[in-house]
Structure 1
Amino acid sequence: MVNQLETNMLNRLFQFFILSLLVLPFFGVAQGYSLQEGQKFEKIRFELINNLMVIPIEVNGTELSFVMDSGVSTPILFNLANQDSIELKNVSEITINGLGEGEPISALSSQGNFFKLGNIQNFSQKLYVVMDAGINFSPSLGVPIHGIIGYDLFRDFIVDINYSSKTIKFYNPQSIGPKIGKKYETFDMEIINRKAYLDASISLKGEEDIDVKMLLDTGSSDAVWLFEDERIKLPEKNYDDYLGKGLAGDIYGKRTKIESIKIGDYDFSDAKAAFPDMLTFNTIKDLGNRNGSLGGEILKRFNIVFDYPNGKISLRKNSNFKRPFHYNVSGIDLQHAGVRYVSERIASFNGVVQKSDRSYGNVQILLEGATRLSLVPEIIVSGIRAGSPAHSAGLKEGDVILAVNGKRIHRYKIQEIMEMLNEKEGKRVKVLVERSNSNLLFSFILKDLFK
């Protein structure tokens, strides 16, 4: 028989063996992201939606969609309600801060997760999970978005973003990186608290250039945000507007134009700018000497090489450089709000059902007499600016958009619909909506917001 001392020893050996099984796999595994041995770079395609880069990443074997956000230090997951399953490792409860009018939010912290992006792998990724169903960027972007990721990827690679071809190359920092030709201009980039900053200068009407330190924020769809202080004053011509959604709630502020913003020799005249309400930042203890941020509407005008390991950023103008800045002159904000059936007559029916693009919906029913019922996204007015052309014409929040200028909108992505609504000053826009089971047609003329 085995005595008590031997039993205790066996139990301890067994416990050590189990502990070894749990711990040993993490030894010898590189911390952070890495490429396959001998691979110089990995090329990834992204979708550019409302100036944001959306990339596919596997999290513990489940493929999710992330916004590539250089302004976030640790990956954050949300909008997981429609996922069949996702495994999370080593979970604990925490509180995190985020932009918005609300208080710090409750979340989960999870460590030791497996992330995979093409051939790029990380066997021990920390992440946060926000469980609040109200924090969901998918309706306003029109595609599923499950999270945001930034610093951890930028830290481990030299990241070459080509906004023209919608591709990102992640280079091994130990290999020969991307070729920086004569058309690039290279700047020092400062990394503070896992975020990247770039020096620039702005010019307000009738004043000398003001030096500013700007957060590089690929996760912002806006152009320029500025913080008002004794040097930086809000221009006289401005209007109140909804600026976006943060983790802690909606963000409001003033929209305006500034005379110029300069990054080295690159100069943007009459640049779109926003001055956020500083109550938005009440959960952030120290903004340091930061004066604002550069978002996707500026950054997409360059092909960019981020070199976090060496504190450098290289910019090259691309085909977007001279495009006019986008303004919401109609005053309408849109979002997806479920689905609806659309009935259409089709010219002929040969019994073949073609797979439809996801912007049309993915369910179709063909009825006798060549009628097609398609299940498509329902687009509603999610917000409307007081005093805007759309507001003055009588449009209301909650109206279901059916057509813009005679075009049935279920054939278009949400960003294409926004472009129809905000094409150019002086254009007449006709919007057909459904309200209380009735179809109503509204008409208005787009006006310059700063006249």
Structure 2
Amino acid sequence: MRSSLIYGLLFAILSPIFTFGQVFSLPEGDRSLKVKFELINNLIVLPIEVNGTPLSFILDTGVNKPIIFSLTDQDSVSLNNVRAITIRGLGEGEAIEALSSVGNEFRIREDMVNPNQQVYVVLDRDLNFSTTLGVNVHGIIGYDLFRDFVVEINYSAQHIKFHDPRYYQQKKSKKCETLPLTIIDNKAYLDGAVVLANDKEVPVNLLVDTGSSDAVWLFQDIEKGLGVPDSHYDDFLGKGLNGDIFGKRTKVEKVRIGNFVLEDAKAAFPEMNSFSLIKNLGNRNGSLGGEILRRFNVVFNYHAGQVTLKKNNLFREPFRYNLSGIEVQHNGMRYVAESLADASGVAYQEDDSFGNVQLLLENRTRLSLVPEIIVSTIRAGSPAAEAGLQEGDVILAVNGKPVHRYKIQEVIQMLNEREGKQVRVLIERYNKDLLFSFVLKKLFE
């Protein structure tokens, strides 16, 4: 899968914004609302109803107005007051045509409602993150929620509390640290520092981006001391609104946010032509994404210009790299035939979002319709590429485990378990089954 996401859902909407008095609110007398979310590849996926239709949105501090995309033939959403517009964002492509719709009801659970929400709709079918995340995702939403509430994100428990800012009081704790948060053009920026080499700390100003599954992106600036470390490799970094984003993957000695320090942190230097449609980056030096943010429980208080961080039980987890070089995604459905004797006792871990159809045949064979997982891209010089795997290969099994029994994120973990691990991948190519084997190597010597 294109693992650094999409991992760069750094969407910047530059078209004129018209608010029309939009606001989310809680029922009178309620001071907060707790909402469960799914944490998928460091991204927060929230259930939201749009004009009565249940959809799923990524919570993205890097986006201004909500965007709907990835609509399929099975999706039916009614939208009000539609007109054509042009929107721009990250990626190597041109600005794209979209629709703007106002006067829509956005509802989170029964209690939290905006009856007059503006939303953009992108009709390009290529802009589809469901295939890489393994669950249906219909859009992204950001600033409107952070504008109307104090947003408390508990990454470890996977729930959010939306607090009415009129009543919110910050809890005092020695384990928490509150830092200044600068809001510019409806986006949040945080000061920090990185150490690339020689223990020299370089101050950086970072866009806070919950919609990026990566750790930290840095913009190359030799004069400032932000040069690409010698140990790096070229990589796909993510998918933006206007196309793919490439750059150099590396790690830095330290990332410091306030008094919190993360060592040997995953980092990337994106190619700056991906930012060509963004007219003014100001003093921004990069972005802070979900792979670092998930290590904290975070309170965003845009009203007070503050963010509060508290380490959680994910803080010391190692940073995740694509060791195999394989990116995977769903590619429609396929039939899988299994003997019931062979399948007995198997605990299936199926993704209900994509469905599963099973037929039991007279010879005690189960014929199941399951999601097909393919190699979407492969990194040149990676262990998988050297072993002979190719883009378009259909993955059948990893280390003897049939992949249709697992979620796509679990398959990715199998392919990238640890350095030195031998990985066996059974694939189908031109109606032939082929077995490849390779060893996951160190990325940085």
* TM-score, with length taken from structure 1: 0.90
Amino acid paired to 1:73? N
- 1:9-67: CA deviation from partner (whole Å, max 9, x where unpaired): xxxxxxxxxxxxxxxxxxxx974100011111111111111110101101111111100
State the partner residue of 1:302: 296
State the partner residue of 1:13: none
State the partner residue of 1:346: 340
State the partner residue of 1:151: 143
State the partner residue of 1:288: 282
- 1:254-293: CA deviation from partner (whole Å, max 9, x where unpaired): 0001111101111011111000000000000000100001
C-alpha displacement of 1:374: 1.2
Which residue, 377, 399, 416 being the options, matches 2:371?
377
Task: Tell whether the 8 Å contact from 1:160 to 1:178 is kept in structure 2 after alignment.
Answer: no
C-alpha displacement of 1:395: 0.1
Name the CA distance, whole Å, in 2 between partners of 1:357 and 1:238: 35
State the partner residue of 1:212: 204
1:367-406 aligned within 5 A: 367-406=361-400
Name the CA distance, whole Å, in 1 between partners of 2:343 and 2:41: 37
State the partner residue of 2:42: 51
State the partner residue of 1:115: 106
3-state SS, counterpart of residue 123 of structure 1: strand
3-state SS, counterpart of residue 303 of structure 2: helix
Which moves more between the two structures, 85-94 or 321-330? Answer: 85-94
- 1:153-183: CA deviation from partner (whole Å, max 9, x where unpaired): 0110011100111000101111234634221
Pairing 1:65–2:56 present: yes
3-state SS, counterpart of residue 310 of structure 1: coil
Task: Tell whether the 8 Å contact from 1:359 to 1:411 is kept in structure 2 after alignment.
Answer: no
Pairing 1:250–2:244 present: yes
CA pair 136-393 structure 1, distance change in 2 beyond 3 A: same
Name the CA distance, whole Å, in 1 between partners of 2:282 and 2:141: 23
Task: Tell whether the 8 Å contact from 1:162 to 1:303 is kept in structure 2 after alignment.
Answer: yes
State the partner residue of 2:261: 267
CA pair 440-356 structure 1, distance change in 2 beyond 3 A: closer
- 1:85-142: CA deviation from partner (whole Å, max 9, x where unpaired): 2111111111111110001111111111110011110011111111111111111101
Larger Rg: 1
Amino acid paired to 2:336? V
Name the CA distance, whole Å, in 1 between partners of 2:73 and 2:228: 42
CA pair 145-432 structure 1, distance change in 2 beyond 3 A: same
- 1:284-333: CA deviation from partner (whole Å, max 9, x where unpaired): 00001000011000000000011111111110111110000000010000
State the partner residue of 1:417: 411
CA pair 378-355 structure 1, distance change in 2 beyond 3 A: closer
3-state SS, counterpart of residue 115 of structure 1: strand
Name the CA distance, whole Å, in 1 between partners of 2:175 and 2:368: 48
Task: Tell whether the 8 Å contact from 1:359 to 1:412 is kept in structure 2 after alignment.
Answer: no
Structure 1 alignment gaps of length 5 or more = 1-28
Name the CA distance, whole Å, in 2 between partners of 1:346 and 1:177: 58
Task: Tell whether the 8 Å contact from 1:428 to 1:446 is kept in structure 2 after alignment.
Answer: yes
Name the CA distance, whole Å, in 2 between partners of 1:78 and 1:361: 20
State the partner residue of 1:20: none
Number of residue pairs the alignment of both structures matches:
420
Name the CA distance, whole Å, in 2 between partners of 1:252 and 1:287: 18
State the partner residue of 1:81: 72
Name the CA distance, whole Å, in 2 between partners of 1:225 and 1:340: 37
1:303-342 aligned within 5 A: 303-342=297-336
C-alpha displacement of 1:342: 1.1
Name the CA distance, whole Å, in 1 between partners of 2:337 and 2:406: 16
C-alpha displacement of 1:341: 1.0
CA pair 180-60 structure 1, distance change in 2 beyond 3 A: farther
CA pair 58-360 structure 1, distance change in 2 beyond 3 A: closer
C-alpha displacement of 1:189: 0.4
Name the CA distance, whole Å, in 2 between partners of 1:327 and 1:149: 27
Question: What is the alpha-carbon root mean square deviation over aligned residues?
Answer: 1.8
Which moves more between the two structures, 199-208 or 142-151? Answer: 199-208
C-alpha displacement of 1:80: 1.5
Give me the identity figure in percent.
61
C-alpha displacement of 1:347: 3.7
Which moves more between the two structures, 101-110 or 77-86? Answer: 77-86
- 1:335-381: CA deviation from partner (whole Å, max 9, x where unpaired): 0000111112224999xxx9975278421111123221111100000
Name the CA distance, whole Å, in 2 between partners of 1:75 and 1:422: 33
Amino acid paired to 1:297? E
Structure 2 alignment gaps of length 5 or more = 1-19
State the partner residue of 2:4: none
Task: Tell whether the 8 Å contact from 2:349 to 2:406 is kept in structure 1 after alignment.
Answer: no
State the partner residue of 2:214: 222
* TM-score, with length taken from structure 2: 0.91
Amino acid paired to 2:249? R
Name the CA distance, whole Å, in 2 between partners of 1:447 and 1:197: 36
**Structure (1/2) with the larger helix percentage:** 1
Name the CA distance, whole Å, in 2 between partners of 1:287 and 1:365: 55
C-alpha displacement of 1:207: 4.7
Which residue, 125, 132, 136 being the options, matches 1:133?
125
- Which 4+ stretches in 1 moved above 6 angstroms? none
C-alpha displacement of 1:208: 1.6
Task: Tell whether the 8 Å contact from 1:200 to 1:211 is kept in structure 2 after alignment.
Answer: yes
Pairing 1:160–2:160 present: no
Amino acid paired to 1:76? I
Higher relative contact order (CA 8 A, sep 6+): 2
C-alpha displacement of 1:206: 1.0
Name the CA distance, whole Å, in 1 between partners of 2:252 and 2:350: 44
State the partner residue of 1:94: 85
Task: Tell whether the 8 Å contact from 2:351 to 2:407 is kept in structure 1 after alignment.
Answer: no
Which moves more between the two structures, 104-113 or 367-376? Answer: 367-376
